[in-house]
């Protein structure tokens, strides 16, 4: 499996690379900003793109949108410090199947990569709770 890592913090990128390589996953490249993530994704065509949302030049959502406009659809794992429902729901609406908070990345990243590569979803526990609460709110609203 071939993975591209995109995060604007070099220490995070290096740590993610090391974590993935120890798990036997090939990291084909690292991007420090969204524009570089877009170009490296086009060049290397990774199976999975591990992507921070807030990056210089292009944010993670813009990278995904531009790749899809080019008919490139790597599986995407969002890795973010943001747990707010608006970020999570935007990712879900874009068809992104994995959303991890950075505080849980060390234990969730490898399973998330394998899940999205296999066409399944994977969300950090706190993100899953937000999605479930949002769904329940929508379902229960008409009952009030």
55-102, pLDDT tens digit by residue?
Answer: 999 999 999 999 999 998 899 999 998 888 788 888 988 999 999 998
pLDDT of residue 107: 85
Query: Which domains are seen in the chain, by residue range?
Result: 2-143 (3.40.50.2300)
pLDDT of residue 124: 86
pLDDT of residue 9: 95
Burial of 32 (0-12, 13-18, 19+ CB in 10 A): middle
15-43, pLDDT tens digit by residue?
Answer: 999 999 999 999 999 999 999 999 999 99
pLDDT of residue 125: 78
């Amino acid at each position: 499996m071939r993975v591209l890592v995109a995060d604007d913090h070099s220490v995070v990128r290096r740590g993610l690379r090391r974590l993935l390589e120890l798990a036997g996953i090939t990291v084909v490249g690292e991007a420090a900003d969204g524009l570089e993530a877009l170009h490296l994704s086009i060049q290397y065509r990774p199976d999975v793109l591990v992507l921070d949302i807030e990056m210089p030049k292009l944010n993670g959502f813009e990278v995904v949108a531009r790749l899809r406009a080019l008919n490139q659809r790597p599986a995407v794992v969002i890795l973010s410090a943001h747990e707010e429902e608006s970020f999570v729901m935007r990712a879900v609406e874009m068809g992104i199947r994995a959303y991890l908070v950075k505080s849980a990345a060390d234990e969730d990243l490898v399973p998330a990569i394998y899940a999205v590569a296999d066409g399944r979803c994977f969300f950090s526990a706190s993100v899953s709770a937000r999605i479930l609460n949002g769904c329940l709110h929508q379902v229960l609203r008409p009952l009030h």
